[in-house]
Structure 1
Amino acid sequence: MNAPTKLVLYGLVLVAVFAVAGFTANAVVPEETVRNWSQETTDHGQHGQEGDADTAGHGAHADDAAPLGLGLAQDGYQLTGVSAPEETGSEGELTFAVSTSGGEPVTAFELNHEKEMHLIAVRADGQHFRHVHPELDTDGTWSIPWEWEEAGTYRIFADFVPSESGEDMTLSTTVQVSGDYAAVPAGERVTETNAGGFDVSVRGDLVTGQPSELTVSVARDGEPVTDLEPYLGAFGHLVALRGGDLAYLHVHSHGAEPEAGQTAGPDITFEATAPTEGRYLLYLDFQVDGQVHTAPLVIDATADPAGIPSEDDHSGDGSGNGDDHEDGDGHDH
């Protein structure tokens, strides 16, 4: 084979390699998702540094009146040094720090729901939710053992209360994980599901712009569960994320903080305020017999309670079964 022919064949091989690489990258991380999330993080980070509560980075949600955990920085604090394994099946650590706007590490935090730091990780399609509690090093670095089970683009939330300000704060960023990626299409409302053998349902109307009560009930084998145990200072912990951009809502449980050994159930009532109409993803953590379970639910918010479908409409078949929850040490309960 002469030299010109070899060069032509070599060039064709390179074209094929780069074509396959480009296809794989697009399969791992949807380009539109990454572009939108990157723009949101930039916009919110800039607003947070300036102390501006504007949320123009939301696009369709531009009328929001308060930060919703989509920025790297807010009110003089910023999320820095975020590092995690880059591909599925690779064991490592997820690390990050909270710093002041001047770059000084923050090392003093208040207990909030019995923990100084709540770390939430969830994929762009709402799948693979984790709520864990990393440990703080003396230099201000938070860390936790970490391994990704599925590829995709994930949003990482840090929910904490700095001792200096005493104000609850949520910062976030995105992490891209390489590997075989298969997004789960958005489905219907899911007001009933099963998590670890427990049947979990939610009722109540989520109305925009005002506090709304949501009541979650837990049953097993058709019988109400009345031995829910205290977890994170309540009988249940609920995380609510807006569908699409995964904006983070602060949700509060009703009732006094339970005492050690106290049990309750089957109902847990929460209060949440939806900033806009649309779909919201709920993740309930509850504990029975020392085991924490996570139940995913999906509801809609509307400006008019009469416009919310009844519980008999698209209630879901519980196919999105919840997974057992992971604690701050990275081990299953």
Structure 2
Amino acid sequence: MSFTSRFALRRRGLAAAGTAAVLALALAACGSSKDSDASMPGMDHGAHPSASSSSASGMDHDHGSMPGMDHGSMGDGLADAKDGYKLTSTATELPAGKETAYKFQVAGPDGKPVTAFAVDQTKRMHFYAVRSDLTGFQHLHPSMADGTWTADLAALEPGTWRTYASFTPDSGPGKGKGFVLSRTVTVPGDAKKTSLPEAASSTEVDGYTVTVKGVLMAGMAHPATVSISKDGKPVTELQPYLDTYAHLTAFHEGDQAFAHLHPETEAKGDNGGPDLSFQAMLPKPGNWRMFLQFQTGGKLHTAALTLNVS
């Protein structure tokens, strides 16, 4: 990333500090990524992409972000409406302990369901379900028919969950602008709150060790590095997942503010890793739960890590 781009990113990040949960990420590609269960109770990536990362909807075969796509004004993802676009669903309660389909729509400024969505990281819709204590996490790529999206959720633990829809309209007044909208849904039953794990610089998932190096401060872009190893040896066979070598999202403890570290480097080849460099801007101080997804041998791994931002 050039000095000019880095400077522009810093200015945009500082302007949004305290009011938006935008993360700017420039993954320096040197590695590649498919699906597996995550390491925490109730956590599931939920999707099962092919080695080529094609969408289950059968409509997402384009690659990368669309030219002119704006992710700088996504906000913190805690509202169900923004700039005339609204996330709607008739579901206020979902069953516990079994797979279930969550249906939703995105209404445009004209009140009608939006049907034209731009491709972002090979998908037209990124959907997340996160439990209020951040112990449950699912990242899905739902299918759409006549403006209604269907996300096939894995079994949910009892409690309050927030569902996020991350998308970019491909027509209308919001064309090319990134949105993250969310709603809450209740899963009835004995909801046992799990304390967030302490902040740490590394974690393990499926035999892999994921380490984050760098000091993050609220409202400022800082360089950081994610390193992946296995059995004490650097991993150099990361596979592409969503046109990059790692997909990162983060959620703020307490209010569940959303942040996406959006990669800019397209992955090529199955020889990525072990180090992935990025510029990160987390606008709020406190604990953030980061979910790092990467693929090896056709299997997707989801690592969860608590980062403290001062």
Task: Answer whether TM exceeds 0.5 for this pair.
Answer: yes
Supply the distance in 1 between the matched residues of 2:272 and 2:134 (Cα, whole angstroms). Answer: 29
Gaps of 5+ in 2: 1-15, 21-72
8 Å contact kept, 1:122–1:156: yes
Q: How does 1:160-199 map to 2 (within 5 A)?
A: 160-164=167-171, 165-199=175-209
Gaps of 5+ in 1: 1-54, 56-60, 303-333
Deviation at 1:84, TM superposition (A): 7.1
Whether 1:156 aligns to 2:168 is: no
- The corresponding residue for 2:243 is 233
- The corresponding residue for 2:266 is 257
> Which has the bigger relative contact order, CA under 8 A and spacing at least 6?
2
| Letter aligned with residue 164 of structure 2 | F
Supply the distance in 1 between the matched residues of 2:122 and 2:210 (Cα, whole angstroms). Answer: 24
Whether 1:203 aligns to 2:213 is: yes
- The corresponding residue for 2:78 is 70
RMSD: 1.9
> Of 92, 111, 115, which residue of structure 2 is paired with 1:103?
111
> Of 140, 148, 164, which residue of structure 1 is paired with 2:147?
140
Larger-gyration structure (1/2):
1
Q: CA 1:82–1:193 in structure 2 vs 1: closer, same or farther (change >3 Å)?
A: farther
| Letter aligned with residue 119 of structure 2 | L
Percentage identity across paired residues of the two chains: 39
Supply the distance in 1 between the matched residues of 2:238 and 2:214 (Cα, whole angstroms). Answer: 21
- The corresponding residue for 2:40 is none
8 Å contact kept, 1:253–1:271: no
Report the TM-score, using the length of structure 1 for normalisation.
Answer: 0.68
8 Å contact kept, 1:68–1:249: yes
What SS does structure 2 have at the residue aligned with 1:207? coil
Deviations 1:274-309 (A, max 9, x none): 11211111000000001001000111112xxxxxxx
What SS does structure 2 have at the residue aligned with 1:292? strand
| Letter aligned with residue 118 of structure 2 | E
Report the TM-score, using the length of structure 2 for normalisation.
Answer: 0.73
Deviation at 1:147, TM superposition (A): 4.1
Supply the distance in 2 between the matched residues of 1:186 and 1:90 (Cα, whole angstroms). Answer: 24
Supply the distance in 2 between the matched residues of 1:172 and 1:196 (Cα, whole angstroms). Answer: 30
